[in-house]
Structure 1
Amino acid sequence: MISPLPNPTLSRYGVGMAIDLALAHPDIAVAAPVLLDPARPLRRIPLGPELDRPQSFHDRFDDDAVFYDVFRDHTGRHVYLIGPMALNLAPLIDNLEIVGHPSGTSARPRIHHGIQAEILRVTLPKGDTHLRFTFGEQPVEVAIQRNRSDAFRGDRIVFTINKDNDLAWIADWARFYVAEHGATAAVVYDNDSTSYSLDDLRTTLAGVPGLEKFLVIPWPYRFGSMDDVFTGHRFGGNWAMFAQPPKFTQFFRRYGMRARSILNADIDELVMSPFRRSVFKAVERSPFGLLRFNRMWVLNARAEDGVPRHAQFVIRKKGVAARDRGKKWAIAPGRAFFASWRAQPWTHQVRGWFNLSGSSGAFYGYHFIGISRSWYWDRTEQITFDPKLHVKDQLMIDTFADVYGTPRRR
């Protein structure tokens, strides 16, 4: 059977429990956003603004965030400004002139309009603590946050973004990556969960066996929405996603540059290897410090009732029919000399990072349909096992037996 979660009332200071980095560094998770003044008319406008869309789209559309965070890079020489896709705000970003304070140094940033994200880098004296600029007619002054890569020096980090996923899933997710891959740290960006508090999330991570440290980062920005009306963008109806794409670069540049290796995996994704290899060790040994691999769907089929758990799902479609279109990735930041300043980790790829090795066949990202909350399509309908179409995946069964103590025969 699957081991229960740690008691959520246990103290985070308990013996053998993971260290909450926010206890030692109270401002480590603080971001410095730049938001449009609600008293002024300037707003981000959706593509096809004349089209008729449901109110839910507009409620999720981020019309006021210019940058989600402003921070020093790990060398101290540069300042990054990371934000969501600018759309109609792009000309204003292109014409920015930034002044560092207290030095008074004026500089124009290098600008990269990335994949659903804006990446700006400006060189300012190390003593500058704030920067100023005018955006449209709005004067802006924002604090420059410290780089926190040293807090994860030498770590093997798994990180994700979360909104209202069951705490049991989050515990199982972190436990899996510690036990199967040797993760030493877990970072969870929380996108305004309402089912529990940030302290509940921290307590859950603190009790994961073998995890050494963790960090919960509040990420309250609007996630965005699927758009069923405007589909002329290269991402189709997925174009209007905001909170997730920029956080990859923000994490990499602000927190991850001293890490030994980094894996991005959603709560509903578990990476497995037919050779039972560690994905962290594999990317650390890879020639270019970047590893990409395919995903496959795990079907929503289980014998158990109640709240689902990852280890209850071991059925997938046969052969290539199981493939999911998306890929997953891991990186070794020590090989960042293969990456330009505008390198952008994204949901399914890493742009701007030199890599000739293609996709690896040594790992698969298992994507669980039945482990989901707050998504845009219904993943609750269960299927019935059909031996002509489906297979019980023995790799999953064996891996779950080792990690969670579940039966080896299903």
Structure 2
Amino acid sequence: MTGTCFSRKNSAGSFFEVRLGDMSGIPRCLDDTEWRVSMIGSAKKHLTVTPSSMVIPRHAGMARKPPRPPGQQQKSYKEKFDFRTLFYDVFHSGSDIVLSGPPLLNLKPEMERADFSTELGAPLTPTFTDLDRTQRSLIHDAPSAQLLTMTTPLVTLSTEVSRDLGHLFANRKVLFTKSKNNRLDWIHDWALFHVETHGVDAVLLYDNGSTEYVPEDVVEALARIPGLDVIVVVRWPFPFGPQGGNWDRLTNAPWDSDFCEYGIMEHARYRFLTGAAAVINADIDELVLLGAGGSVFDLLMKTGSPGMTYHGRWIETVGAPTDALLSFADFQYFDDRRVPTTRKWVARPSLTRDAAQWKTHQISGVDLTPSTQIQHRHFMGINSDWKRARTHQVPLDPTVHHLDRDLTAALGRVFGPSHRDDRALVWGLDDPSAPQPSELLLEIQARLSESRFDNLKRVHLWFYRPNCLVVDFRVDGLPMAVDLIDESGRIAVKLIGRTEQAKVRVRELMGKTGLVELGGKYHLPAVAIPTGHRSFGDGVEKLLRAIGTRALESRDGGVAS
């Protein structure tokens, strides 16, 4: 066995091996976990990482005991509880080795009696410390160890000692999260929003055993985002753990067994983020906003604080289309009856080194500055309903549902105007006295609403102004739009890409058509429509179908003219 282990080749391209030195003669660990790093491309740091874990075999006769009394355990508690993981990862951090894992609990005396040694047989003496739902156990002054072996009367386990990867995120502005089976377009749009809004240039994502795709697919989705120089997706196949609170027909259950998320926090802190400039802690269904606009990183630096905490606002599912794959731009209303969401944080690792523990909603042992300028938006509709059903459509009630204008503006800056086929966003609920849309455009809208476009995704029609009907759609995952503008009975048509990548794709598709490009938009000559509105709708339909067909031909290697 050499020092290089690697995962499968992805359709995105070749994987480049990262060598750790000669590891010949070292046995594989008993639970068949390996240290792997796969790099996609050579210029940017786009990686998948597999930790070096230690897991107790089922036959070993030892296991972690649940801390929760049987009477407070949900029906699914034992199915979700992590009985067997000793260490999620064993890795170098400076001159020390960190043993990162769930709290040892009843296993701690067994670990203190165990023998630990290197690949050369040199004895090691760990110190074991349980924290809140995780552990931070250390072996001091072992910078050259490449293999760790643990021996007890019941079992012997060995695993490679992973490298310290803090250099990947040195001086980076990092977006950090965990995820399982979230749609890849959600992950892409979540990261894109924070890149464009706050200047994020690195993403650290822990994939908690997704079954819909592999970590390399997540890297591939994120790699399409300009400016995202560092992408690390960590394979994290460990049990997430039973929840506390009011869940699964139990009320007020203690929060004592959801080890996975707390382990991720401390693992990220010490293996990856020690040298990061700053870190945003946000789930895939959360977008962080600064009320006055601008970057939360800039605000954090101005305060001089080690970090800031902020609460959030729930974004409802009202008003979203029911026949499309929905994303963030489809949800923009809040309910003024809801209490704020739980708090999150942005922090500077260099100023939180003395913190007792990184946690989901706080950093213990460090005074973080509460901020009212920052507020994250927590989207009810961006979820797989893994914990509770929350994505169902809610009827619009104008007495309690209000348009989040700061969110609408921020989404518009990143994704283009809202993907909606109703008029409430422009002159409906929020301004009922506004003028009604052009009758000509309403007829065209009705015609297009009846159409199906095989090669275009997420087609939505909405009015930007009474005389401007917008057809938003996606080609190859990139947002584009056609503006139909009523100029006193003449219809002008403009085609635009919503993002820089989309603009490049539009040029590829339309570059040989002879159409004029002005201000990033392709302009078709205005057409007079004296009668026969539906015939013009047919023409627009043909235009959209042609765009889809042209995109399909270009993907298949054909040349469209």
Q: TM-score, normalised by structure 1?
A: 0.84
| Greater relative contact order (CA < 8 Å, ≥ 6 in sequence) | 1
User: Residue 293 of structure 1 aligns with which residue?
Assistant: 310
Amino acid at match of 1:277: G
Q: What does residue 389 of structure 1 align with?
A: 400
Conserved in 1, the CA contact under 8 Å of 2:126 and 2:137?
Answer: no
1:16 counterpart residue number: none
Opposite residue 79 of structure 1, the aligned amino acid is I
Secondary structure of the 1:307 match is coil
Asked whether the equivalents of residues 264 and 328 of structure 1 are also in contact (C-alpha less than 8 Å), the reply is: yes
Contact 1:116 1:246 in 2 (8 A): yes
Q: 1:256-302: per-residue Cα shift (whole Å, max 9, x none)? A: 11211111111001000111121222333443321211122111223
Unaligned runs of 5+ residues in structure 1 are 1-8, 14-19
Structure 1 residues 374, 118: CA separation in 2 closer, same or farther (over 3 Å shift)? farther
**1:328 aligned to which of 314, 335, 344:** 344
Indicate whether 1:88 and 2:99 are aligned: no
Q: Which residue of 2 aligns with 1:43?
A: 63
Residue 413 of structure 2 corresponds to residue 402 of structure 1: yes
Contact persistence 1:169–1:267 (CA under 8 A): yes
Candidates 219, 229, 232, aligned match of 2:236: 219
Does residue 384 of structure 2 align to residue 351 of structure 1?
no
1:377 aligns with 2:383: no
Structure number with larger C-alpha Rg: 2
Q: Give the whole-Å Cα distance in 1 for the aligned partners of 2:39 and 2:148.
A: 27
SS for the counterpart of 2:219 is helix
CA–CA distance in 2 between the matches of 1:209 and 1:221?
Answer: 32
Contact 1:133/1:139 (<8 A) preserved? yes
Q: Which amino acid aligns with 2:348?
A: A
1:211 shift after superposition: 1.9
When residues 239 and 300 of structure 1 are mapped into structure 2, their CA distance, relative to the original with a 3 A threshold, is farther
How many residues align? The count is 384
1:205-254 per-residue CA deviation (whole Å, 9 max, x = no partner) reads 1112332221111111111233658979xx83543313221011111110
User: Aligned pair in 2 of structure 1 residues 295, 12: CA closer, same or farther (>3 Å)?
Assistant: farther
Kept in 2: contact 1:295–1:327 (CA 8 A): yes
- Does 2:162 align with 1:149? no
Match of 1:63 in 2: 83
2:211 match: secondary structure: coil
Question: Counterpart of 1:5?
Answer: none
Please list, as runs of the form range in 1=range in 2, the aligned pairs for 1:17-36 lying within 5 A after superposition.
21=39, 29-36=49-56
Q: Which amino acid aligns with 2:54?
A: V
Look up the equivalent residue of 2:66 and give its one-letter code.
P
Specify the SS of the correspondent of 2:129: strand
Cα deviation for residue 203 of structure 1 reads: 1.6
Letter in 2 for 1:62: D
Written as runs of structure 1 = structure 2, the 5 A alignment for 1:272-311 is: 272-305=289-322, 306-311=324-329
Give the corresponding residue for 1:362. 373
Per-residue CA distance 1:139-187 (angstroms, 9 max, x = gap): 3333211100111222111021111111111111010010001000112
One-letter amino acid matched to 1:31: P
Query: CA 1:47 to 1:205, structure 2 compared with 1: closer, same or farther past 3 Å?
Result: same
The CA RMSD over aligned residues, in Å, is: 2.9
| Counterparts of residues 230-309 of structure 1 (less than 5 Å) | 236-305=253-322, 306-309=324-327
- Indicate how the Cα distance of structure 1 residues 10 and 404 shifts in structure 2: closer, same or farther if over 3 A, else same: farther
> In the aligned structure 1, how far is the partner of 2:214 from the partner of 2:314?
30
Change (3 A) 1:398 1:48: closer
Deviates more, 1:121-130 or 1:179-188: 121-130
Q: Deviations over 1:368-403 (max 9, x none)?
A: 111001521111222223232222111101111111
**Which among 311, 314, 320 is matched to residue 332 of structure 2?**
314
How far does residue 12 in structure 1 lie from its aligned partner after superposition?
5.8
Identity %: 25
SS in 2 for 1:63: coil
Unpaired runs of at least 5, structure 2: 1-9, 15-37, 419-424, 428-561
Say whether the 8 Å CA contact 1:33–1:68 is kept in structure 2.
yes
The DSSP-based 3-state class of the residue aligned with 1:121 is strand
Q: Which moved more, 1:373-382 or 1:183-192?
A: 373-382
In structure 2, distance between residues paired with 1:159 and 1:21: 19
Aligned in 2, Cα 1:275/1:246: closer, same or farther, shift over 3 Å? same
Match of 1:194 among 205, 211, 214: 211
Q: 1:112 to 1:361 in 2, by over 3 A?
A: farther
